[in-house]
Structure 1
Amino acid sequence: MQMKFLLFLAGLLGLLAAFPAHAQTDTPTERATAWKTRLTEHIVGNRLFPIEAPRQPGHAKIKFVIGRSGQLISRTLVEDTGSRQLDAAVLAIFDRAQPFPEPPAELKGDKFSFTVPIVFSHRYFQVPPYGLAASEPTPAFALSDALDAWRKAVTEHVWRNRVFPPEAIGRKGDAGVTFVVDRSGKLISNALVESTGFAPLDAATLAMVERSVPFPKPPAKAKDDLQRISVFMTFDGMGGPWVDEAKVKAKLNGLCRGC
């Protein structure tokens, strides 16, 4: 018997405030990454599923353009859902979301173009972790998108190394772990930042990260030699097989300097 668990995007859970020392945004790439995170959260906060829409799972991809003051310039379905009601609901998310968070002053240009996937299941819309990407090449966004892809790969890599002790069955709790990876994918350090209150689960959380060595290597153009990632988990206490489609989300709390 194994235990199902969910990994949640720290930003969406409002947990970023727990790590202010790591929320460094002193380069254009870091500010671009932080802005993309705010855009994603803003889009998620404006989702609304239409009552009359069909309940089958599916997805759509949207291209949207916003101006420097956060105004919506355009939004277009790049991939439709196959349902007119759902297509209209997806586009309405972006209409409701304006004005969007304004871009950092250091990012040049009067308008910014992005694509973002929207996944829906039954009565729920979701933006996949690190799904929002710049549509037009910009140096700051290019590296930001590469780092997002790497963070997603690391999170999924950790997920594949899940193993839990039998005594954890039936125990519920939340855990958070932060770990530092170097350019070669070596684990430099890891630490529990939120405890479940149950020692075997806490130990299993740390062991999951340790079993994941070596990690996928960070992008070659990443500025820092050390990268810090924090992952938050909710153990639901349910026995049974793993559910691979469970939510797998994580948030990079900042580039690590002097860790």
Structure 2
Amino acid sequence: MSDFDKITESPSLYDHLEGMEVSELLNFINDEDQKVALAVRESLPSISALVEAMVPRFLSGGRLFYIGAGTSGRLGILDASEIPPTYGMPHDRVIGLIAGGDRAIRKAVEHAEDDPEQAWKDLEAHSINDLDTLVGIAASGTTPYVIGGIRKARESGLLTAGITNNPGSPLARAAEIPIEIPVGPEFVTGSTRMKSGTSQKLALNMISTALMIRIGRVSGNKMVHMQLSNNKLIDRGTRYLVEHLGLSYEKAGEALTQFGSVQKALEHFKK
């Protein structure tokens, strides 16, 4: 018997869903979604504490790891994968790991989340050390893969945090910084890819974005270190230089090509 309330498994506030019109379903789902951001707001002190503690570690060469299973693992991988193109960081500074390995990104791997030892083995493959930060993500807060990784990481001197939608869960108790976001029952009972997953995505956005801003990867409100990997981003970078340096669009484009990033072009022209 668990000693905490499994909110994520509590019955939906709605019933007889199969008898509803599509418009009813969508309106009720939207009503529930509107509760998510308010629940995340309550967790801001914990998210802030994590970012504040992580910044000096990151600036000293530490990395940020996310671990999770299923939807939670995929959300961590999604957030990590967006850091290099958005902020020009190397791929090995923010890393997402999922129970079952990369094949679990697209297809569920049976029982992969049930091994409490596997996460640490996965982390050891990256030569994890005490400058690193580990964020475990589990809506239920009971996933053995995540809890096992967090416990071992904390014992090893890493900064640890746990994002969960069940306050008082084993994950919340295991992590140094629990980030508890009780969003209430899911529209479809137990379907934590819905409100719980949305809350996790919002929290991850905040963690990585605030971290990147604090370590200097944003100037003003611009992504000045973004990778210029397609025409849209090249155009965006060119317009940044037009705005900040007063160059013509053509000259700004030439400068961007010459220096390879918005930041390097800004630094050259502002000498």
TM-score range, shorter chain: under 0.3
- Greater share of strand residues, 1 or 2? 1
Structure with more relative contact order (C-alpha pairs < 8 Å, separation 6 or more):
1
Structure with the higher fraction of residues in helix conformation: 2
**Bigger Rg, structure 1 or 2:** 2
